[in-house]
Amino acid sequence: MEIPNILVKDAADQFKKACMAVNEVEEGLVLPLINLATVAIELYLKSLSADEVRTPIDSGSSCVEELYAKAKSVGGNGHGLMKRLEVIPEAFQKRLISAYKAEFGGCIKAVLSQFEGAFQASRYPYEKGNDFGNFTIDDLINMTNFLSHFVELESN
């Protein structure tokens, strides 16, 4: 298993770029911004634990494989950020926690736990019980940028 998984990282990078573009374009686009940021955060975490899967494709005489990634199963609705953190291999998890503490002086687990449910709430803000928690847009942007930088460093 190669960590980070480059396929998942690429998807995360695209959501991060879209998030930053929405953030720069116009104020008031809160729901799309939260959605894009939480998807990017989830994908960066997945990139640190996803398996690479190769499937042979029958192409006649040449050996061709389809390459894709498979995220570790975390149960539930699959969007739990804390569960995503827990399935990251221990060595990478320790580096991630340490890097966050060095940069922000806080605990990444505490911050990620504030984002739990934000993805669902951004999609269904009109449903009872959907709450955006105790975070700001800046918190989401900071986490997205931090994870992007961390995953980029891990890929070199």
Q: Is residue 41 part of a domain?
A: yes
Which one-letter DSSP state was computed for residue 127?
A: S
- Domain enclosing residue 114, as ranges: 6-155
pTM above 0.75? yes
Q: Is residue 105 part of a domain?
A: yes
How confident is the model at residue 55, as a pLDDT?
Answer: 75
Is 67 in contact with 7 (CB distance < 8 Å)? yes
Q: How many structural domains compose the chain?
A: 1
Question: Degrees (nearest 5) of the Cα angle 15, 119, 105?
Answer: 80
How confident is the model at residue 106, as a pLDDT?
Answer: 92
How confident is the model at residue 145, as a pLDDT?
Answer: 98
Beta bridge partners of 58: 63
Q: Is residue 15 part of a domain?
A: yes
User: What is the CATH number for 41?
Assistant: 1.20.120
Q: What tokens appear for 87 in the block?
A: 């399935």
How confident is the model at residue 94, as a pLDDT?
Answer: 96
Q: Is residue 1 part of a domain?
A: no
Q: Is residue 132 part of a domain?
A: yes
Query: Which parts of the chain have pLDDT scores under 50?
Result: none
Chain length of the chain:
156
Pairwise CA distance, residues 77 & 52, whole Å = 22
How confident is the model at residue 37, as a pLDDT?
Answer: 96
Distance of CA 142 to the CA centre of its chain: 13
Strands in 60-101 per DSSP E? 62-70
How confident is the model at residue 74, as a pLDDT?
Answer: 61
